[in-house]
Amino acid sequence: MKLKKTFLSIATLFSLSAIAQTEPKYPELTENMKRVDLLIPKIQDPENYRVEVRFGTEVKISECENTRSFDFNIKNLKKDFGLPNRYMYYYIGENQPIQILTFTETKECNPDKQITKKVLSDQNIFIEHIATQPTPFFIPKTWTVEYRLWKVHTDFKTAK
């Protein structure tokens, strides 16, 4: 009986230590990658909000060109967890090809003059508002994580 209690105690401690693991496993950073932790400010009624996330980067274009956004393959953006079903993070590879659609302006300009402009991705993701812990993003060093809050209505409407 005493041996059974000892064995049960050891098994309980072992399983609790495995469950209590608090160090999530995240991807290794390379020279061309960075980690950005998105921590949304606390707000009232967070269940009524969604967070729209886009990525930003700076591009060099001619003074005669205009662009507002860039494209990348959204399938390359991976959502994973640092621990089983906990510590969600997003990862996108460092050599992510992007496409930038530019339009030529009709104003007077110098086509040889280069300007730097910040643009946002056309692709976006929506995540729930989580103010208790940051959501890590592992992205190329030249990218930024941009976000905005959207107020949503909790009632669903039936389409007819």
* Secondary-structure percent of the chain, ordered helix, strand, coil, rounded to 5: 15, 40, 40
**For the segment 5-30, what is each residue's pLDDT rounded down to a tens digit?**
665 556 555 554 555 557 889 999 99
Residue at 105: amino acid letter = E
Element (H, E) at 3: helix 2-19
Tell me what pLDDT residue 11 has: 55
Write down the pLDDT at residue 20. Answer: 55
> Per the confidence metrics, is the pTM higher than 0.85?
no
pLDDT at residue 157, as a whole number: 86
Task: Give the tokens for residue 142.
Answer: 């030249």
More confident residue, 10 or 61: 61
Q: How many whole angstroms separate alpha carbon 58 and alpha carbon 55?
A: 11
46/125: higher pLDDT: 125
According to the model, what pLDDT value does residue 123 have? 92
**What's the confidence (pLDDT) of residue 153?**
78
